[in-house]
Amino acid sequence: MAIAKESEDSIIIAGDLVDALDKKILEKPKNKKEAFQMLKCLSGKNFRMIAGLAVYNTKTKKMLSTAKECKVKFRDLLDKEIKHYVESCDVTKHAGGFDVNGAIRFAENISGEFCLYGLPMNELVHFLREQGVDV
């Protein structure tokens, strides 16, 4: 809403993603060591990726929002592959210590609406159309 106050006749898109293992939320790791521990914890486990999306029209003051869930199972990961991934990627920028490429690389199974770069893309298209954007 702070951005909306400075923007006239605009569509504001906001989104974020967290990972949840059991009842624990995995946000962005503070450093590579924490990212390694998160990925080790996710190894061989089922977890959820939850993405929030909001689309706001500053002209009409109409807000559309949702949260979408994707269920993921990582295969059993070797310490050396986790270490290589953590060293070669900017893991502190991503919930759970992995980006979309990491999810695809490590996943044994993905079900539900996969969120590309933290955004539920199908819902984003619907919301933009509902806000009058030709997508």
22 tagged catalytic? no
Instruction: Give, for 74, the enclosing helix (H) or strand (E).
Output: strand 62-74
Residues paired with residue 49 on neighbouring β-strands, in sequence order: 19, 70
Q: Which stretches of 1-78 are DSSP H helices?
A: 2-5, 32-42
Question: Cα 51–125–63 angle (5° rounding)?
Answer: 70
Active-site residue identified among 9, 16, 22, 79: 16
Question: Is the four-CA dihedral 111, 112, 117, 122 of positive or negative sign?
Answer: positive
Q: Which residues are catalytic?
A: 16
